[in-house]
């Protein structure tokens, strides 16, 4: 997974409760992405023949691989965020050193989360763009066949 720089200096001022709430939001959004992935898989299943006919098999396979990798990354992030949320309960009773470690972990998760969302959007746009082109050509074929 590539890590790109995200400005996270504001985390120094977040309270433990705010970081916990932010982590909950991340987890909910990641769980929603799981539903989107199921939808994407169904779209691909419904349009498999068109995908293969429309473009090369290699390109179709590449999109499916990207989807598969994104699903794996999403599952891993859900586990990391869940672990992060659970560790906050332990941190409250610990010293400043562990609180700093938690904040650094929070920063890292924020970067991973933002990068994953960006990659998800790119995948979604490319998939919908291809499916839109497929539907457009199918519609043109139907119009030609009717005439």
**Domain ranges within the chain, ordered by starting residue:** 9-146
pLDDT at 147: 58
From CA 126, how far away is CA 123, in angstroms rounded? 5
pLDDT at 7: 55
For the chain, list residues with pLDDT below 70. 1-13, 54-56, 89-95, 145-147
pLDDT at 88: 75
CA distances from 33 to 4, 77, 87, 124 (A): 21, 11, 24, 11
pLDDT at 48: 81
Tokens 């050509």: give the residue.
Answer: 137
């Amino acid at each position: 997974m590539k890590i790109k720089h995200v400005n996270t200096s504001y985390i120094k001022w977040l309270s433990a409760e705010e970081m916990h709430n932010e982590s909950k939001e991340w987890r909910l959004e990641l769980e929603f992405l799981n539903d989107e992935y199921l939808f994407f898989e169904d779209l691909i299943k419904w349009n498999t023949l068109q995908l293969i006919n429309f473009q090369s098999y290699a390109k179709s396979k590449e999109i499916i691989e990207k989807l598969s990798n994104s699903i794996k990354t999403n599952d891993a992030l859900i586990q990391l965020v869940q672990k992060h949320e659970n560790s906050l309960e332990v941190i409250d009773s610990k010293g400043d050193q562990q609180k700093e470690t938690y904040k650094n972990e929070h920063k890292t998760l924020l970067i991973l989360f933002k990068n994953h969302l960006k990659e998800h959007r790119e995948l979604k746009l490319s998939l919908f763009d291809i499916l839109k082109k497929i539907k457009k050509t199918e519609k043109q074929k139907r119009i030609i066949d009717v005439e």
